[in-house]
Amino acid sequence: MNLSVRLCGLTLDNPIIPASGCFNYGKEFAAYYDINILGSFSFKGTTWHRRDGNFTPRVAEAPAGMLNAVGLQNPGVQHVVAHELPEMQAYFHKPVIANVSGFSVEEYVNTCRLLDAQEQVGILEVNISCPNVHGGGMAFGTSPENAAAVTKAVKAVTAKPVFMKLSPNVTDIVTIAKACEDAGADGLSLINTLQGMRIDLKTRKPILANTVGGLSGPAVFPVALRMVWQVYQAVHIPIMGMGGVSSARDVIEMMLAGATAVQVGAANLVNPFACKDIIENLPEEMEKYKISSLEEIIGGAHT
């Protein structure tokens, strides 16, 4: 069984990548298992300035998933470069994916330029799809013109592969994906969370202090699969598929739809061994469906 895949010049031992926001910098999970079994991981979304995030409560349960409105809490890129990345060398020995957010094109450019220079960073994942902040994130990802502007600006100052992380909260994700490709993106990550909310019946007020949050978990998997399918048909650059993935079967399904690698998000918050379990279960599922190489099934449902 060959679980390895090639992603923009990087060879991953397997396509399993914990998603940004659900794995922090990997340290907590490394206490449970050797996270070097992962293909890679996308570390906590990073901005130019430190952010304390939104007011609490910022997490709420939902059927078959969860809502979050964390608001990009992070220590800022200078702290990440000075502390998190050097510490990471002790417990993770593969290239990592740096997830970047911003509130202006200039912030995206400055943060990406700094992270591009770091040896441990193999891929830049530019988040233009966060639904939980005001004036940034998704504001760039709902317009093809804005998405292309960020892509072009970031590509002008970086040498490493740039993946644009797209929002599902749009009418036509394909148009935005093609705009990013035309502007020079090396790959695409999709999908980010869907906007949702819950109301407390006792107080008759929204549960989240932010009112709305991002829905993740198994509930969004069919939506994510559909969007990966559509984008794969329209572009010629690799896709990291994500959204509700929680099993080896989900991984195979996502790859058949067109994903080269598969990110696992909310499942890590339910079960810290989620990614380990998926990797260990993949060979059995591959044997069941007569798959000898995962790379050979990418986009296989389109033929």
Q: Which residues are catalytic?
A: 130
Could you tell me the sign of the dihedral formed by the alpha carbons of 255, 257, 263, 266, in that order?
negative
What CA–CA distance (Å, rounded) separates 249 from 53? 34
Q: Which two tokens stand for residue 254?
A: 């996502």
Coil/strand/helix, residue 27: helix
Query: Residues with Cβ < 8 Å from 224, sequence gap 6 or more?
Result: 168, 190, 191, 241, 242, 243, 244, 245, 254
Main-chain phi, psi angles of 77, to 5 degrees: -65, -35
Bridging pattern class, strands 239-241 and 187-190 = parallel
Q: What is the CA radius of gyration of the chain?
A: 18
The whole-angstrom separation of Cα 144 and Cα 165 is 13
CA-closest candidate to residue 158, choices 102, 111, 92, 201: 111
Peptide bond into 63 cis (omega under 30): no
What's the CA angle centered on 150, arms 146 and 155, to 5 degrees? 145
In whole angstroms, give the CA distance from residue 262 to residue 190. 10
Q: What is the three-class DSSP state of 159?
A: coil
Virtual torsion, Cα 230, 234, 236, 241, nearest 10 deg: -20
Q: What is the DSSP string of 162-173?
A: EEEEPPSSSS-H
